[in-house]
Chains A and B, each alone.
Chain A
Amino acid sequence: MERILFYILALIIVIFAIAAVSSRKMLRSVIYLLFVLCSIAGLYFLIDYNFLAAIQLTVYAGGIIVLIIFSVLLVHHIELELELAKPLKQIITALACLVGIGVILTTIYSYDFKVIENDTAITTADVGSKLLSYDQGGFILPFEVISVVLLAAMIGAIIIAKGKQVEKHENKRIE
Chain B
Amino acid sequence: MDLSTFLLMRHEIVLLVVILLLIIGEVFIAESKKSSMVHLAVFLFGIHTLIGFLSIDYGSLFGGMFHTNALIQFLKNVLNIGVLILLLQSGDWLQEKIIRVNRGVEFFILLFSSLLGMYFMISAGDFLMFYLGLELSTLPVAALAAYDITKRISSESGIKLILSAALASGVSLFGISMLYATTGSIYFTEISYVITADNLTVLAFILFFTGLAFKISLVPFHFWTADVYEGAPISIASYLSVISKGAAVFILMILLFTVLKPLMHIWENMVYIIAIVTMFIGNLFALRQQNMKRFLAFSSIAQAGFILLGLITGDQLGTATVVYFLLIYIFSNLAAFGVVQAISLETGKEQMKDYEGLYRTNPNLSLIMMLALFSLAGIPPVAGFFGKFFLFTAAASKGYYLLVFLAVVNVTISLYYYLLVVRAMFLRKSDNAIPYFKSKVYMRLGLLITAIGILVIGIYSPIYDYIYELSRNLL
Q: Are B200 and A145 in contact (CB under 8 A)?
A: no
A135: B residues at CB distance < 8 A: 62-63
Whether A119 is near chain B, meaning CB under 8 Å from some CB there, is no
Proximity bits, A135-151, B CB within 8 Å = 1, else 0 = 11111111001101101
Residue of B nearest to A114 (CB): B184
Whether A104 is near chain B, meaning CB under 8 Å from some CB there, is yes
Q: How far is the CA of A66 from the CA of B212 in the complex (A)?
A: 32
B65: A residues at CB distance < 8 A: 141-142
CB distance from B289 to the nearest CB of A (A): 27
Q: How far is the CA of A141 from the CA of B123 in the complex (A)?
A: 12
B113: A residues at CB distance < 8 A: 148-149, 151-152, 155
Proximity bits, B339-357, A CB within 8 Å = 1, else 0 = 0000000000000000000
Residue of B nearest to A145 (CB): B132
Contact partner, A149, options B102, B135, B147, B155, Cβ 8 Å:
B135
A174: B residues at CB distance < 8 A: none
A152: B residues at CB distance < 8 A: 109-110, 113-114, 136, 139-140
B182: A residues at CB distance < 8 A: 111
Whether A159 is near chain B, meaning CB under 8 Å from some CB there, is yes
Residue of B nearest to A161 (CB): B149
Q: Are A149 and B136 in contact (CB under 8 A)?
A: yes
Q: Are B200 and A159 in contact (CB under 8 A)?
A: no
Q: How far is the CA of A104 from the CA of B106 in the complex (A)?
A: 42
Q: Total interface residues on B, using CB and 8 Å? A: 45
Residue of B nearest to A149 (CB): B136
Q: Are B64 and A136 in contact (CB under 8 A)?
A: yes
Proximity bits, B127-138, A CB within 8 Å = 1, else 0 = 011001101100
Contact partner, B1, options A107, A134, A139, A158, Cβ 8 Å:
A134
Q: Are B181 and A113 in contact (CB under 8 A)?
A: yes
Q: How far is the CA of A136 from the CA of B120 in the complex (A)?
A: 17
Q: Are B129 and A160 in contact (CB under 8 A)?
A: no
Whether B142 is near chain A, meaning CB under 8 Å from some CB there, is yes
B149: A residues at CB distance < 8 A: 160, 163-164
Whether A92 is near chain B, meaning CB under 8 Å from some CB there, is no
Q: Are A155 and B63 in contact (CB under 8 A)?
A: no
- Counting chain B CB atoms within 10 Å of each CB, the highest count among A104, A134, A141, A160 belongs to A141
A158: B residues at CB distance < 8 A: 106
Whether B432 is near chain A, meaning CB under 8 Å from some CB there, is no
Residue of A nearest to B182 (CB): A111
CB distance from A156 to the nearest CB of B (A): 3
B16: A residues at CB distance < 8 A: 148
Whether B7 is near chain A, meaning CB under 8 Å from some CB there, is no
Q: Are A155 and B132 in contact (CB under 8 A)?
A: no
Whether A103 is near chain B, meaning CB under 8 Å from some CB there, is yes
CB distance from B77 to the nearest CB of A (A): 21
Residue of A nearest to B147 (CB): A159
Q: How far is the CA of A160 from the CA of B262 in the complex (A)?
A: 45
Residue of B nearest to A106 (CB): B199
Interface residues in B87-143 (C-beta closer than 8 Å to A): 101-103, 106, 109-110, 113-114, 116-117, 120, 128-129, 132-133, 135-136, 139-140, 142-143
Q: How far is the CA of A153 from the CA of B64 in the complex (A)?
A: 27
Residue of B nearest to A152 (CB): B113
Q: How far is the CA of A108 from the CA of B181 in the complex (A)?
A: 10
Whether B150 is near chain A, meaning CB under 8 Å from some CB there, is yes
CB distance from B183 to the nearest CB of A (A): 11
Q: How far is the CA of A170 from the CA of B143 in the complex (A)?
A: 22
Whether A83 is near chain B, meaning CB under 8 Å from some CB there, is no
Whether A167 is near chain B, meaning CB under 8 Å from some CB there, is yes
B78: A residues at CB distance < 8 A: none
Residue of A nearest to B150 (CB): A167
Q: How far is the CA of A153 from the CA of B109 in the complex (A)?
A: 11
Whether A120 is near chain B, meaning CB under 8 Å from some CB there, is no
Q: How far is the CA of A103 from the CA of B203 in the complex (A)?
A: 9
Whether B66 is near chain A, meaning CB under 8 Å from some CB there, is yes
Q: Are A155 and B199 in contact (CB under 8 A)?
A: no
Contact partner, B143, options A108, A134, A137, A156, Cβ 8 Å:
A156
Whether B146 is near chain A, meaning CB under 8 Å from some CB there, is yes
Q: Are B203 and A107 in contact (CB under 8 A)?
A: yes
Q: Are A146 and B132 in contact (CB under 8 A)?
A: yes
Whether B57 is near chain A, meaning CB under 8 Å from some CB there, is no
Whether B198 is near chain A, meaning CB under 8 Å from some CB there, is yes
Q: How far is the CA of A12 from the CA of B101 in the complex (A)?
A: 50
17 A-B contacts, Cβ less than 8 Å apart?
A: A107-B199, A108-B200, A110-B199, A140-B62, A145-B132, A148-B116, A148-B117, A152-B136, A155-B143, A156-B144, A159-B110, A160-B146, A160-B149, A160-B155, A163-B150, A166-B102, A167-B101
The 3 closest A-B pairs by CB, nearest first: A156-B143, A163-B149, A136-B63
Identify 15 new A-B residue pairs, CB closer than 8 A, beyond the known A134-B63, A149-B136. Answer: A111-B182, A111-B198, A113-B181, A141-B65, A141-B129, A142-B129, A148-B16, A149-B132, A152-B110, A156-B140, A159-B147, A160-B149, A160-B158, A167-B150, A170-B101
Interface residues of A (CB under 8 A from B): 103-104, 107-108, 110-111, 113-114, 134-142, 145-146, 148-149, 151-153, 155-160, 162-164, 166-167, 170
Interface residues of B (CB under 8 A from A): 1, 16, 61-66, 101-103, 106, 109-110, 113-114, 116-117, 120, 128-129, 132-133, 135-136, 139-140, 142-144, 146-147, 149-150, 155, 158, 178, 181-182, 184, 187, 198-200, 203
